[in-house]
Amino acid sequence: MPRALLLENIHPLATTLLEESGYDVTSLKGALDESELIEALDGVSLLGIRSKTQVTDAVLAASHLDAVGAFCIGTNQIELAAAAQRGVAVFNAPFSNTRSVVELVLGEIIALSRRLTVQNSALHKGTWNKSASGAHEVRGRTLGIVGYGNIGTQLSVVAEALGMRVVFYDTAEKLALGNAHRMPSLDALLEESDVVTLHVDGRPGNAGMFGAAQFASMRPGALFLNLSRGFLVDYAALRARIEDGSLAGAAVDVFPTEPKAQGEAFESDLRGLPNVILTPHVGGSTEEAQHDIGQFVAGKLRDYQELGATYLSVNVPGLVLDRPREGSQRVTLLHQNVPGVMAQLNEVLSQHGANVEYQVLGTWGQFGYAVTDVSGTLPEGVVETISKESTTIRARVLDA
């Protein structure tokens, strides 16, 4: 029975779906470090993780994985190119928790604007301090969104429905939705925004993108939110701006170093500050989102193993595939994207007397992915011959 390992408390639905597909599934609540992960992957063909587990080249080299599922949006915790070079397809959940993050952002913007954290703390201490000082409606205020992807665009639409004016900045060309206005630079956005929220990806070039200079460019009394990646922000600089009153509040869901498991100690420069909301990386952690993510990513892993389908893979060419015709066999070939590979493949099939029923090729950058359905049983020696070609990364046979 093939084995799957799911880490970091992935929704039980993922376990159910993989078990129904014939997998022996081990599910753990916490993350594993590199040496622990290498040991745990002995005999495992599918790995499911969230944001804490690091899938390094050393992990990939020591394992025999077919695919990795990131049960989250980000994939910077996985060495994607190294995975592709070893024939390991990677899938994530780019849409499933978008709404959950957006709702948390808006809830925190309202809470910070009304200083609910401060008033709540005072009442819990027995102090009645009814005052409108520092409390604002969000209607009419300007929201600056840094990163206009899946989350940023949906946040833009919902924030406008609340009456906010939306501006955004993104290094890529993006279509503005509704009345949102694209800003020419990050500094221009900071100068206009009453609220600044980060929603950029985890590529290495974004590390440290928001520090003392960016906080100094923000409007006096503005709010700051980060629900994307912890290593983007200098939190010591943020603390200084909160303490000196330059910024009115902040909400942070992600941190440069996070505990690996429930109950472990948490340290941050932002602890103990007034009107600062700290949450333990739960932007996408609603029951609805985790259910949808579990279903989506487990389904992608299953379809890759059973059909060879790679649609929405983040590191190999994406192909949408139906189930092979009954009585046929499917050969999948991940290869270097160079001229002549398909000619080599078809020559091998012809030499072995294999009759091709269906064939499709997808390419993306340096990689190509070819899928071929052959009538009847695949002749002996075909996969071995294909695997020996210098351009081959990985060849597999899938039964109908």
Q: Give residues with Cβ within 8 angstroms of 129, minimum separation 6.
A: 119, 122
Nearest Cα neighbor of 331 from 295, 378, 298 is 378
Spatial neighbors of 95 by CB under 8 A, at least 6 apart, are 150
Structure tokens at 346: 């078809």
Tell me, yes or no, if 258 is annotated catalytic: yes
CA distance 257 to 273: 19
Q: Do 91 and 210 fall within a single domain?
A: no
| Whether residue 307 sits in one domain with residue 222 | no
Q: Which residue's structure tokens are 């579990």?
A: 294
What domain range is 191 assigned to? Answer: 98-278
Looking at residue 295, its pLDDT comes to 97
Map tokens 């985790």 to a residue.
290
Residues 360 and 212 in one domain: no
Q: Is 326 a catalytic residue?
A: no
Q: Are 91 and 109 in a shared domain? A: no
Q: How far apart are CA 228 and CA 306, in angstroms?
A: 33
Q: What tokens were used for 256?
A: 């440069």
* DSSP-assigned states of every residue in 299-365: HHHHHHHHH---TTBSSS-----PPPPTTEEEEEEEEE--TTHHHHHHHHHHHTTPPEEEEEEEEET
> What CATH number is attached to the domain comprising 26?
3.40.50.720
Structure confidence at residue 312 (pLDDT): 96
Q: Using CA atoms, how far apart are residues 263 and 225, in angstroms rounded to an integer? A: 25
The residue count for the chain: 400
User: Of 239, 281, 330, 394, which one is the catalytic site residue?
Assistant: 281
Could you say which DSSP state residue 86 is in? T
Residues 354 and 383 in one domain: yes
In the chain, the number of structural domains is 3
Closest by alpha carbon to 29, among 264, 210, 318? 264
Do 179 and 109 lie in one domain? The reply is yes
258 and 370: one domain? no
CA separation for the pair 268, 280 (Å, rounded): 11
Burial of 265 (0-12, 13-18, 19+ CB in 10 A): exposed
Helix (H, G, I), strand (E, B) or coil at 298: helix
Determine which one of 19, 34, 36, 258 is catalytic.
258
Mean pLDDT by 10 residues, the chain (400 residues): 96 98 96 96 97 96 98 94 98 94 98 96 96 96 97 98 98 95 98 97 90 98 97 97 97 93 90 96 94 97 98 98 93 98 97 96 97 94 96 90
**Burial class of residue 288, CB neighbours in 10 A (0-12, 13-18, 19+):** exposed
Do 260 and 331 fall into the same domain? no
Mark whether 227 and 333 lie in a shared domain: no
What CATH code is carried by the domain that includes residue 388? 3.30.70.260
CB 59, CB 5: distance < 8 Å: no
- Residue of 99, 115, 229, 302 with catalytic role: 229
The whole-angstrom separation of Cα 156 and Cα 149 is 10
Do 77 and 6 lie in a common domain? yes
Whether residue 56 sits in one domain with residue 125: no
- The answer on 102 and 203 residing in a single domain is yes
Q: Are 42 and 8 in contact (CB under 8 A)?
A: no
pTM over 0.95: no
Contacts of 78 (CB under 8 A, 6+ apart): 49, 54, 55, 68, 70, 90
**Final residue of a domain: which of 226, 250, 278?**
278
pLDDT at 400 (0 to 100) = 59
